[in-house]
Amino acid sequence: MSDEKQPLLIGPGIPLDSTEVQTVELVSNSELTIKDEKPKKSDYHPASERYLEHPTSNLDTLIHLLKGNIGTGILAMPDAFKNSGLFLGVIGTLFMGTICTHCMHMLVQCSHELCIRNQRPAMSFAEVVEDAFAMGPIALRPYAKKFRTIVNVFLVITQLGFCCVYFLFVATNLQDTMHYFHINLSVHSYLAIIFPPMLALGLLKNLKYLTPVSLIAAIMTAWGLIITFYYILQDLPHTNTVKAFASWHQLPLYFGTAIYAFEGIGMVLPLENNMKTPEDFGGWTGVLNTGMVIVAALYTAIGFFGYLKYGDHVLGSITLNLPNDLMAQSVRAVMAAAIFLSYGLQFYVPMNIVWPYIKSKLTSDKALEHGEAVTRFVLISITFTAATLIPNLSSIISLVGAFSSSALALIFPPLIEIMTFWPDRLGTNDWMLWKDVAIIIFGITGFVFGTYASLETILKI
């Protein structure tokens, strides 16, 4: 078949003329034949065809994965438990973590399958969606490019939403720290102060260069979490002092915050595509499972003990509930610095989506020379502006989670799996189809009710 890869004997890009294929028999016992068949697509290994200028190691990838998930989301988990209740929060968080991790695996597996079919070394989230629909049911194939655009829009909204939350988190924690030194400024003032350094960090272009920054941020985050646990584990009240189950009206807010915390799916393919040994990313003991087990355990622990400690008085970030002493202030400062250093990593994904599109529209050399810097400035300014318009941390976290994170983490991956393996590779009795449909329904339900509840809360402010 013309679309299959040529044998290495022939060399890449050289057509194979079937009339020149011969069988050569030798007199000796050895036999040398030139086969008239080409390798199957299953022989194509995408990872071996990748040529990376700055590949990341397993440790680099794990650090990026942890930093991409352990940030403002983990510090908002006690607030999430307030909206779910103590015991429902534990069950829901572990369930959410399991589903989100499974969806990440689905996306990676479908990416590999489609790379092999199309003989491409790597694919982005949007490219996976487009190819899945282009090779799926005939009736849906004309909409492949539209679904690619939709996914890109959600990816940009989600990651810029994360960046917006990062702006607000750093500003609010900096404000609280400065109160200790009797410096009283508004949140908007601190947002203006941190804008120039955030802009400078957002101008870093290479993911490899962000590894040292992510490592420093990971160490600072670990220190901040250790001290936070030190405070919240002291003098814990009995579990009957807080609600085991919250009201139905509050559950959508829990969903939004929890899915915001777990949604790192936009970074999964970029991280896997940049690995030196991408085969170590999946599997039971791979980088992805290792990272997500750590994340789920930390989320559950800090949500449980943070809500138990402060009850309904818990704020959008647990750091804001810590006492007003020097060590607690150091936690706020350290966590603010760690989140600040993570801004560049979060900004990496939306920039990689937006810039190629803008670049294709530029014609002059001058525009191409300065276009990327201008694009970065505009996008960072958008996150800054959004943070100033909605200066409420818990509400914006829940909104970003419910609206965009749920679509990317819970709706598109199972939809991609259905399209990729349609119609006869969905398991015995189509069990994969029914599993994926259940996840999609769960995601749509959280999307609708979570977005509504978050907007309602924001409009009441």
Q: Which of 97-106, 116-125, 229-238 has the lowest mean pLDDT?
A: 116-125
* Phi and psi at residue 366, to the nearest 5°: -65, -40
Phi-psi region of 24 (alpha: psi -120 to 50; beta: other; left: phi over 0): beta
Residues 362 and 371 sit within 8 Å (Cβ to Cβ): yes
Nearest to 315 by CA among 257, 259, 263: 257
pLDDT value for 21: 38
Q: In the predicted model, is pLDDT for residue 82 greater than 70? A: yes
> Which residue in this structure is represented by tokens 């810029």?
160
What residues have CB less than 8 Å from 352, skipping those under 6 apart?
Answer: 124, 270
pLDDT digit string, tens, across residues 145-196: 999 999 888 888 888 888 888 888 888 888 888 887 888 888 889 899 999 9
Taking only the tens place, the pLDDT of each residue in 353-369 is 888 888 888 777 777 77
Mean pLDDT of the region 203-226:
76
Alpha helices in 362-390 (DSSP H): 365-389
Rounded distance between C-alpha atoms, residue 65 and residue 266, angstroms? 11
21: left (phi over 0), alpha (psi -120 to 50) or beta: beta
Q: How many CB atoms lie within 10 A of CB 32?
A: 9
Residue 1 included in any domain: no
Q: What pLDDT is stored for residue 42 in this prediction?
A: 56
Residue-wise pLDDT for 219-229, tens only, equals: 888 888 889 89
Residue 90: predicted pLDDT: 92
- Is residue 120 situated within a structural domain? yes
Scanning the structure block, which residue is given the tokens 């398991």? 427
Amino acid identity for residue 200 in this structure: A
pTM of the model: 0.78
Q: Are 304 and 90 in contact (CB under 8 A)?
A: yes
Task: Give domain status of residue 11, yes or no.
Answer: no
For 63-78, how does the pLDDT look when each residue is reduced to its tens digit (9 = 90+)? 878 877 777 788 889 9
In a domain, 26, yes or no: no
Any residues with CB less than 8 A from the CB of 252 and at least 6 apart, and which? 402, 446, 449, 450, 452, 453, 454
DSSP state of 386: H
Please return the burial class of 271, using the count of CB atoms within 10 Å of its CB with bins 0-12, 13-18 and 19+.
buried
Burial class (CB in 10 A: 0-12, 13-18, 19+), 448: middle
For residue 281, being part of any structural domain is answered with: yes
CA 461 – CA 445 distance, rounded (Å): 25
Is 20 inside any structural domain? no
- Lowest mean pLDDT of 81-85, 195-199, 398-402, 434-438, name the range: 398-402
Beta bridge partners of 275: 56
Mean pLDDT of the chain: 81
- Is residue 25 domain-resident? no
**Which three-class secondary structure string do you get for 224-279?**
HHHHHHHHHCCCCCCHHHCCCCCCCCCHHHHHHHHHHHHCCHHHHHHHHHCECCHH
| pLDDT tens digits, one per residue of 402-436 | 888 888 889 999 999 999 988 888 878 888 899 99
- What is the CATH number for 179? 1.20.1740.10
DSSP codes of every residue in 281-301:
TSSTTSHHHHHHHHHHHHHHH
pLDDT value of position 95: 92
> Is there a contact between 397 and 457 (Cβ–Cβ < 8 Å)?
no
- Identify the H or E element spanning 215: helix 210-232
Domain count within the chain:
1
Q: Dihedral angle at the C-alpha atoms of 364, 366, 370, 372, nearest 10 degrees?
A: 20
Using CA atoms, how far apart are residues 413 and 440, in angstroms rounded to an integer?
9
Q: Give the pLDDT band (50/70/90) at residue 437.
A: very high
348, 270 Cβ separation under 8 angstroms: yes
Question: Pick the residue with more confidence: 179 or 291?
Answer: 291
Domain, as residue range, for 454: 50-460
Per DSSP, the three-state class of 206 is coil
Written as six digits, the tokens of 92 are 């829901």
pLDDT for 345 equals 74
Instruction: Please check whether residue 384 lies inside any domain of the structure.
Output: yes
- Give, in order, the Cα–Cα distances in Å from 375 to each of 230, 246, 351, 366, 435: 43, 44, 8, 14, 41
Residue of 146, 150, 169 lying closest to 158 (CA atoms): 150
Locate 227 and state its tokens: 């001290």
How far is it, in rounded angstroms, from Cα 258 to Cα 275?
Answer: 28
Calculate the CA 267 to chain-centre distance: 4
- Torsion 248-249-255-261 (CA) sign: negative
Determine the Cα–Cα distance for residues 122 and 143; give it in Å rounded to an integer: 22
Token pair for 118: 């199309």
**Model pLDDT, residue 461:** 58
